[in-house]
Structure 1
Amino acid sequence: MFKAVIFDMDGVLIDSEPLWHQAEQQILGGLGVDFGREPRLQSTGLTTAAVIAHWYQHQPWPALSPAQVHQQIINFVAHGISTAGLPKTGLLPLLAQLQQQQLALAVATNSPKILLDTTLTRLGIGHYFSAQCHLELVQHGKPAPDIYLLAAKKLGVAPQHCLVFEDSFAGISAAKAAGMTVVAIPAEHEWTDAKFAIADRKIRCYTELDETSLPINLTG
């Protein structure tokens, strides 16, 4: 029986994944990183630090430190969210429905606190979440299960009673490692990717979650 629902943030609460890719292309590309060279990286769902560390190891740049590049990327994404961020289609009615069902709600993101705060403020949804977990609260980001275990602990709900919405393989892996049930919301270009088979359910949009189409009953 599900007692809590935990949401990832980027690509799940808000359409921010394009901003991350734009930031990487503009800032890392401006430093000379060639994204076509091996070893390539699927960065969705990874921490910003992990993405920067990967490219710095294989294509180091002389101008800025990884920490400076990290801050530039965070600033780029924060500005984009605060000025033009939009909720995922169907999110707002879903949050209201879950609240009405008296389910505990949390957000668990690999992003830092500033981006979590910016997103919740932009969308006006902070009041829905009893637990707000960001990267700075855990030792290891996704795909480690730490942040999902922290969210469950803060909600006072056992992991097996938590339902998670995730859009990335790293995030799905983290939630599954935490012992939770996962609904995947892949980006359209990844819809047919076999890696999402580890999720318990796959949807394109929250509007699919009605009583007739949801085999995973949100209320148990």
Structure 2
Amino acid sequence: MFQAVIFDMDGVLIDSEPLWHQAEQHILGGLGIDFNKPPLLQSTGLTTATVINHWYQHQPWPTLSPLQVHQQIIDFVASGVANSGEPKKGLLTLLADNKQRQLKMAVATNSPQLLLDTTLERLQIRHYFHALCHLELVKQGKPAPDIYLLAANKLGVKPEHCLVFEDSFAGVSAAKAAGMTVVAIPAEHEWQHSKFAIADYKIRCFSEFDWQQLC
């Protein structure tokens, strides 16, 4: 049924979502952003540019440009990943199992290439992947399906034969829009949220995943 497996990166391959939160709080908060003022934003899964533009539109700051703020956030997260990034529970076992099953694998992330390279180097998992897709390769990031369609094209596999692992609603929406089967791995505080009902399956960690049950 499945010929390929595509992984989101942040919150899926690596537990980097806390770093993104810290970066936003430290850098945007330092510019005077009050995250409790409406319109509020659930930033998980969105591009960094989308998050910055949202707050700049509603609470503009007078000093740095959005592009400069974007680079500061990326550098903050990249430094954290390089120094202390760890693979998500069960990931390495699943990657090895997928390789044994001769499944093609790809990464499809809303992050830029710098963070993708930093993550793969930190976790030492680059050799598992046949295609690497990052935000700079597509016109629109998630929730648009572009990056998942690109990954499928690079793998030479039809979207309906791809299985995707995603932790965010934006990512799940993107993969479903691409016509793929999606396993959601929501953060614990979002586990019960009804929005993840659009996913085909839901697990708490890779250790819960079972190919036999799926097939």
Superposed pair shares fold, TM > 0.5: yes
What's the CA shift for 1:63?
A: 1.1
Identity %: 76
Q: Provide the rounded CA distance (Å) in 2 between the counterparts of 1:65 and 1:29.
A: 15
Q: Provide the rounded CA distance (Å) in 2 between the counterparts of 1:140 and 1:216.
A: 31
Task: Find runs of 4+ consecutive structure 1 residues off by over 2 angstroms.
Answer: none
What's the CA shift for 1:215?
A: 3.2
Name the residue aligned to 1:167: 167
Name the residue aligned to 1:181: 181
Name the residue aligned to 2:51: 51
Deviations 1:164-197 (A, max 9, x none): 0000000000000000000000000000110000
Superposed CA RMSD in Å reads: 0.7
TM-score (norm 2): 0.99
Deviations 1:94-125 (A, max 9, x none): 00000000000000000000000000000000
TM-score (norm 1): 0.97
Name the residue aligned to 1:28: 28
Q: Provide the rounded CA distance (Å) in 2 between the counterparts of 1:210 and 1:19.
A: 29
Name the residue aligned to 2:38: 38
Q: Which amino acid aligns with 2:126?
A: G
Deviations 1:109-152 (A, max 9, x none): 00000000000000000000000000000000000000000000
Q: Provide the rounded CA distance (Å) in 2 between the counterparts of 1:34 and 1:209.
A: 39
Would you say 1:81 and 2:87 are equivalent positions? no
- 1:91-106 matches, cutoff 5 A: 91-106=91-106
Name the residue aligned to 1:195: 195
Consecutive unaligned residues of structure 1, counting only runs of 5 or more, are: none
Q: Which amino acid aligns with 1:216?
A: L
Q: Provide the rounded CA distance (Å) in 2 between the counterparts of 1:173 and 1:209.
A: 20
Q: Provide the rounded CA distance (Å) in 2 between the counterparts of 1:147 and 1:2.
A: 19
> What is the SS of the residue equivalent to 1:165?
strand
Name the residue aligned to 2:133: 133
- Tell me the matched-pair count: 215
Consecutive unaligned residues of structure 2, counting only runs of 5 or more, are: none
Name the residue aligned to 1:109: 109
Name the residue aligned to 1:13: 13
